[in-house]
Amino acid sequence: MEKFIDKECRAKSVSPLTLAFLGDGVYDLLIRDFLVTQANRPVGELNRLKISVVCCQAQSKAMKKLLDADFLTEEEMSVYKRGRNSTVNNVPKNSSAADYHSATGFEALLGFLYLQNKIDRITEIFDFAVKEELL
């Protein structure tokens, strides 16, 4: 995957929730791409699989895997913490506040890496923390 818009952006100056907004889209695209390229299944089944991993519980689980393995760089950890500690007004009814905050941090990390055009690093993180859940 290459960055769609080749425009300079100071990723460090973007708010954590804005990074999470972008990271949510990056994550969704990674999941959809993986599912479509790995399995020629009906769209309804693909959507059910996507929904099972594009949720804060699954993202929080992926983040825990990264943290337990000490997989992130110091800078990545800082971005994750900024996202995790951001004030959010809504927590989905079907998830805990802790999972939601962790997922927000995970999405912020993906958004940050995307803005820095670190697509290879996004792929490494995805392969390590998420891919096996989809197989």
Q: What are the catalytic residues? A: 24
Asked whether 134 and 46 are in contact (CB, 8 A), the reply is: no
How far is residue 126's CA from residue 66's CA, in Å, rounded to a whole number? 10
**Dist CA 30 CA 6 (whole Å):** 19
Nearby residues of 36 by Cβ (< 8 Å), 6 or more positions away: 46
